[in-house]
Amino acid sequence: VRLRLGTTAYLLTSPDDIEHVLLHNHAGYAKTRRLTGARGRRLLGRGILTSTGGEHAGKRRAFAPAFARRSASSSEPAVSRSIDELLERWRPGTEVELAAESMRFARRTILRVLFGPDAPEVDLLDEEVAARQRYLDYHVLSLAPLPELVPRPVVLRHRTAARRLDAAIRAAIRERRASPGDDLLSLLCRAPVEDEAIRDEALVITVTGHETLGAALAWTLYLVATHPAAEQEMLAEEMPGDATERVVLESLRLYPPTWIFVRMALADDTLPSGLAVGRGQKLYLSQWVTHRDPRLFADPEIFDPGRFTPERSLGRPESAYFPFGAGPRLCIGKHVALLELALAAGAVTRGRRLKILPGQRVVPRPGLVLEPRDGIRAAVSAR
């Protein structure tokens, strides 16, 4: 679909085209300068997320072992500790707002994953990470060209937050160098790179590793609470098993936290669909649009975790579903994220019954991530 955004840009709707851009000819496309330029790197550090080309490949290789599936399982104690804390807050008889609570859970969990389940940084940095997230939302969604020059409270608070986060991460890296532990920061410290590169990675993970996840958990809990058949299937499982995993995958299909992203053509190219793309043109890829395409998912608006059984997945193109992206820039935290979501959704469903309060309209807001616009209020009762 041709988009009229001042310059020529397209929204890709064919999985073959999406696969071409993310996988087969990934080297022919780059992230836009908004993210990888000086400003993007000042905002988000010089880590994997904002680097390109050979620099990106080198960093990705250096840090891959820290994020491998096996390493992800070492996050389990951190996630469990956060789940205990959540269930403690969600006492039977109380009312909770799922979006804010899930975001809080995700923020504290990524700090525990990074620094360790009982690390002092969890309480110390929770508010700092929240302040940084508010600032990034403000920055990205602001219409002002240089919003950081306007000394609004959100900007001033961010300065302090950035300083405190930076100091805490640097100190923690020094400690891990002296005596390594099992946390993600210790795993990052095993990479053959300078402290500065580890700091960049840890800093960006405090953002990328929680905002998407908080939104995903809120949507998942909402969908479970409103679909008793899926809830029953989850309850029939001992530990989070296949049914829980399918619920998580289906939730990421219907409400993908990363709902759109963009690549820029580095040279002229022709896509499998025949579209001629000129150098410098932008191609948008939207999980929201592709995941709801009836040619790829029958009755796309219906929540149906059974779509992800191996039998029913047969014949579906790989790139019809890409909540974590694909190719060399596939989300490096995918295993951590899926583990965290399955453990949290499973434990909350087994531990509490959630009833979505009547009289609210639950609508997604497409911001930095896709989140419930007005929150989701739910009543908590004992299971």
Smallest distance, Å, CB 17 to ligand HEM?
15
The CA–CA distances, whole Å, from 208 to 12, 112, 133, 229, 380 equal: 24, 15, 10, 32, 29
How many chain residues touch ligand HEM (CB under 6 A)?
A: 23
CB of 338 or CB of 378, closer to ligand HEM? 338
Strands in 152-301 per DSSP E: 261-265, 269-270, 276-277, 282-285
Nearer residue to ligand HEM within complex by CB, 204 or 380:
204
CB 234 within 8 A of CB 243: yes
Regarding 333 and contact with ligand HEM (CB under 6 A), the answer is: yes
> Least distance from C-beta 350 to ligand HEM, angstroms?
21
- Cα 266 to chain centroid distance, Å, stands at 27
In DSSP terms, 29 is beta-bridged to 265
Judged by CB under 6 A, which of 133, 186, 212, 251 binds ligand HEM?
212
3-state secondary structure of 269: strand
Q: CB-wise, 154 or 321, nearer to ligand HEM?
A: 321
Binding of residue 329 to ligand HEM (CB under 6 A): yes
> CB of 122: closest distance to ligand HEM in angstroms?
15
Of the candidates 154, 185, 225, 337, which one interacts with ligand HEM according to CB under 6 A?
A: 337
Nearer to ligand HEM, 158 or 329 (CB): 329
Stretch that binds ligand HEM, among 133-141, 276-284, 290-298, 327-335 (CB under 6 A): 327-335
Q: Which is nearer to ligand HEM, 271 or 332 (CB)?
A: 332
| Residue 208 makes contact with ligand HEM by CB under 6 A | yes
224 to 283, contacts with ligand HEM by CB under 6 A? 257-258, 261
* Among the listed residues 338, 350, 373, the one whose alpha carbon sits nearest the alpha carbon of residue 90: 350
Per-residue binding string, ligand HEM, 12-41, x by CB under 6 A, is -------------------x----------
Exactly one of 249, 271, 332, 380 binds ligand HEM (CB under 6 A); that residue is 332
Least CB distance to ligand HEM at residue 205 (A): 5
Beta strand 7-12 with 282-285 is parallel
Alpha carbon distance 248, 313 (integer Å): 15
Q: Which is nearer to ligand HEM, 348 or 380 (CB)?
A: 348
Round to whole Å and give the CA distance between 93 and 49: 42
- What angle do helix axes 211-225 and 334-351 make, rounded to 10 degrees? 40
| Contacts of 280 by beta carbon, 8 Å cutoff, 6+ apart | 7, 264, 265
Among 12, 18, 21, 48, binds ligand HEM (CB under 6 A): 48
**Is 60 an interacting residue with respect to ligand HEM (CB under 6 A)?**
yes
- In 3D space, the residue among 234, 232, 261, 244 whose CA is nearest the CA of residue 341 turns out to be 244
* Binding status of residue 325 toward ligand HEM by CB under 6 A: yes
Distance CA(153)–CA(294), nearest Å, equals: 45
Instruction: Give the interface segment with ligand HEM, choosing from 139-147, 328-336, 354-362, 374-382 (CB under 6 A).
Output: 328-336
293: Cα within 13 Å, side-chain hemisphere: 16
Minimum CB distance to ligand HEM smaller for 154 or for 257: 257
Q: Are 307 and 297 in contact (CB under 8 A)?
A: yes
Residue with Cβ nearer ligand HEM (95 or 182): 182
Beta strands of 189-272 (E only): which ranges? 261-265, 269-270
CA 338, 96, 365 angle in degrees (round to 5)? 60
Binding residues for ligand HEM, rule: CB under 6 A, are 31, 48-49, 60, 204-205, 208-209, 212-213, 216, 257-258, 261, 323-325, 329, 331-333, 336-337
